[in-house]
Chain A
Amino acid sequence: MTDQPIAATAREVERSEKRERRFLFSAWHLVLIPIAIAMLIPLVWMLVTSVQTLNETRQYPPTLVPHTVQWQNYSDVLRLAPFGQWFLNTMIVTVTVVIANLLLCSLAGYAFARIKFFGREVVFILVLATLMIPFQVVMIPTFLIVRKLGLIDTLGALIVPNLASAFGIFLLRQFFRTLPVELEEAARIDGASRLGVLFKIVLPLSGPALATLAVITFLWTWNDFLWPLITIYSPSHFTLQLGLTTFQGAHQTATNLLMAANVMSIIPVLVLFFVAQRYFIRGIATTGLK
C-alpha cells in the first residue's frame, strides 16, 4: 500500500514527459515525413483517381484535385463486372479456409505439443519440411491431384488443398507448449477427455495465437493469385484478384473505374488490418522471429 503514492507520482511524471515528448519536433521527422509521403502517394493517388471523371484521368499535367467527386465510378464498376460475385467467392473461400485451419491446426498442434504418440517426431519433421519447399515445386502435381478430384474450376480447388497448413500447425504447437501443463493434467484427473481439455482449457487460453493464425491465413488466402490463376477459368468462380486482372484487361483505358475497383478490393483487408492491427503485427513478427 505504501508504494501507491510513489506509483502515482511516477505516473504523473511519465504523463508530463509524454506531454512534453508529444509536442517535441524531432529531427527524425525529416526522415519520416518523406518516407510516409512515398508510402502514401500510390494509395492516395488511387483514391483520388477513383473519383475522377474519365476526362480528368487523361489530362497532363495530372488533375491533382478533381473538380467534382464522381462516386458514380463505384456503382459503374459494380454494374460492369460481377464484383459482388467475386467478393462473395473470395469471402467463401477465405472464411472456410480460416475456420478449417483454426480447427485442424489446433487439433494437430495440440497432438504434437502434448500427446506422445507413435511416430510423432518423424511426422512433425515431415510437416515442417513442407514449409521449406517453394510453392512452384508442388504446384504442378497439386494441380494434377486437384484435377483428379474433379475440383478444377470450382471454389473447392481453392479451399481443399488449403484446409490445413504446416505453418498453422507449427505456430499453434509452439504456443501450446508455452502453456502450463498442470492445468491440463488437473482437468484430466478430474475426468475431462482430450478434446474436453483442448476446447475448454487450452483454446480459451490461446486467443492471441489463434487470432494471429486467423489474420495471417485470411491475408494469404484473400491475396493469393498464382493458384487461383491456374485452377479457375470461369468468371463466375473468380476470386477478387482474378476478377481485378480481367477487369484491368477489359477496361484498360478507364483508369478511374480501375482505381475504384482496386479500392473496393483493398477495403476488406484494410478494415481487418485496422481492427486487428496488433495481431497482424504480432503474426508477421512471429512468422520470422520466434
Chain B
Amino acid sequence: MQVRRALESDHVAGWALAFPAVFLIVVFGIVPIVWSAIMSFQRTNLLAPPVWVGLENYRALPKDPLFKTAVTHSIIYTVLFVPLSVAGGLVTAVALNRKIRGVRFYRTAVFVPVVVSTIATAIMFLWLFDPNFGLANWLLGKVGLGPYGFFDSVNGALYSIVGMTVWGWIGFDVIIYLAALQGIPQELVEAAEIDGAGKWGLFRSVTVPLLGPATLFLVVWSTINALQLFDEVFFLTRGGPGTATYVVVFYLYELAFSQGIAGYAAAIAYVLFAAILVLTIVQLLIGKRTVYYAS
C-alpha cells in the first residue's frame, strides 16, 4: 500500500512539474507539426474553410518555375556558405588557440558579430556595400577592383549575401572549434612532435582528424541554417533584383503571408523539412565512416 502510494505520487509529481512546459510545447510545437502536414494536402488561404486536394500541392511543385529558381538559389547559397564559414572558422580558431599578445582582443572581434541580429547586420552591410558611397567599393577600388553593385546587381546579390552571412556566423564556428581544440589531449600533440611531425603534418594528421566531431556538427548545423535563409533576403532584396535572390523560405513566406496560398506553402515547408532530414542523415552517415571519435 505504502509503495503504491509513493509510486502514484511520483506520477502525479512528475506530471505536475512537467505539465506546463510540455503543454506549451504540444500546443505550439506538436499540434502545428501535424496541422501543417494536413494543410499540405489542402487548398487553404488561412481565411476560408480549407478544401482537401490530396497530393495536388506536391505534384505542382516540380512544375513551378519559381520554386525551381528558389531551390537553385538555396543550393548555391548553401554550397558556398557552409564550406566558407566552416573552413574560415577552423583557420581562425587554430590561429586563436594560442597564448599570444592580444589574443583576447582578436577573440572578441571574432565573437561580437554572433550577437548582432540579422537585421542589424543587414543594415550595416547595406551601407558598407552601397554601390555609390560604400566603403567596400572604395577599398576594392584601391586594389583595382570594382565598382560592384553588390545587393543591387543580378549577378552579385546572392554572393554578397554569402559574404555578409559568413561574417555574421564565423564567430559561431570559431567558438565551437575553440571548445573542441581545448579538448585535444596535449600528450597526443607531444607524441606527434616527438615522432617528428612538422607543423603542417601535425595540423593535417592530428588536429583536423581530432576536430572531426566538431566539423561534422558544424557542417550539419550550417547546412540546416543555410537552407532556412530568410531574414537577410526579406530585408535586403525581397528576392531581387528580379528573382536573383529568391530562396525557398522567402518563397514560402510570400506564398503564405502575401498571397494567402497556405496549403502550397505548407507543402514547400514539408519538402524543405524532408530535404534537411535527408541531408542531415547523409552527412551523419558520411561522418560515421570518416569521423574519428577519441573517446
Chain A interface residues toward B at CB < 8 A: 18, 21-26, 28-29, 31-32, 35-36, 38-43, 45-46, 49, 57-62, 104-105, 107-108, 110-112, 115-118, 120, 123, 126-127, 129-130, 132-145, 160-166, 168-169, 194, 198, 219, 222-223, 225-226, 229-230, 241, 244-245, 248, 255, 258-259, 262, 265-266, 269-270, 272-273, 277, 280-281, 284-285, 288-289
Contact = CB atoms under 8 A, between A and B. Distances in A.
B217 interface: yes
Contacts of A18: 99
Contacts of B256: 139-140
Contacts of B28: 138, 142, 145, 160-162
A26 B10 contact: no
- The 6 A-B pairs at the shortest CB distance, nearest first, are namely A117-B14, A223-B117, A138-B32, A141-B32, A164-B21, A130-B29
Contact of B132 (A60, A136, A273, A280): A60
B18 A35 contact: no
Given A133-B29, A134-B276, A266-B116, A60 B21 contact: no
Contact of A270 (B112, B175, B218, B257): B112
Contacts of B228: 134-136
Given A28-B100, A281-B175, A140 B95 contact: no
B217 A41 contact: no
Contacts of B253: 226
Contacts of A145: 27-28, 31-32
Given A116-B10, A135-B228, A262-B120, A21 B99 contact: yes
A288 B221 contact: yes
B176 to A, nearest CB: 6
Contacts of A104: 20-21, 24
A244 B118 CA distance: 11
B22 A40 contact: no
Interface string B188-225: 00000000000000000000000001100110010010
Contact of A289 (B32, B125, B176): B176
A166 B35 contact: no
Contacts of A229: 234
B179 interface: yes
A262 B133 contact: no
B98 A273 contact: no
Nearest to A283: B175
A130 B119 CA distance: 26
B81 interface: no
Interface string B100-126: 111101100111111111111101111
B25 interface: yes
B107 to A, nearest CB: 9
Interface in B210-267: 213-214, 217-218, 221, 224, 227-228, 230-231, 234-235, 249, 252-253, 256-257, 262, 265-266
B275 to A, nearest CB: 10
Contacts of B234: 225-226, 229
Contacts of B33: 130, 133, 137-138
Contacts of A139: 32, 256, 269
Contacts of B132: 60
B46 interface: yes
A167 to B, nearest CB: 10
Given A118-B11, A225-B231, A285-B178, 10 more contacts: A32-B96, A111-B13, A118-B15, A123-B18, A133-B273, A137-B270, A140-B32, A141-B36, A262-B124, A285-B176
**Best-surrounded residue of B25, B100, B172 (most CB of chain A within 10 A):** B25
Contacts, number: 283
A45 B124 contact: yes
A269 B117 contact: yes
B60 interface: no
B272 interface: yes
Contacts of B257: 230
Contacts of B167: 38-39, 42
12 contacts: A42-B121, A45-B127, A62-B135, A123-B22, A126-B26, A137-B33, A138-B29, A143-B46, A226-B230, A245-B119, A255-B127, A266-B117
B120 A245 contact: no
A259 B135 CA distance: 14
Nearest to B126: A248
A269 to B, nearest CB: 5
A170 B235 CA distance: 33
Given A140-B269, A289-B180, A219 B24 contact: no
Contacts of B98: 26, 28
A78 B125 CA distance: 23
Contacts of B175: 281, 284-285
A273 B175 CA distance: 14
Nearest to A18: B99
B21 A117 contact: no
A161 to B, nearest CB: 4
B10 A115 contact: yes
B217 A289 contact: yes
B128 interface: yes
B1 interface: no
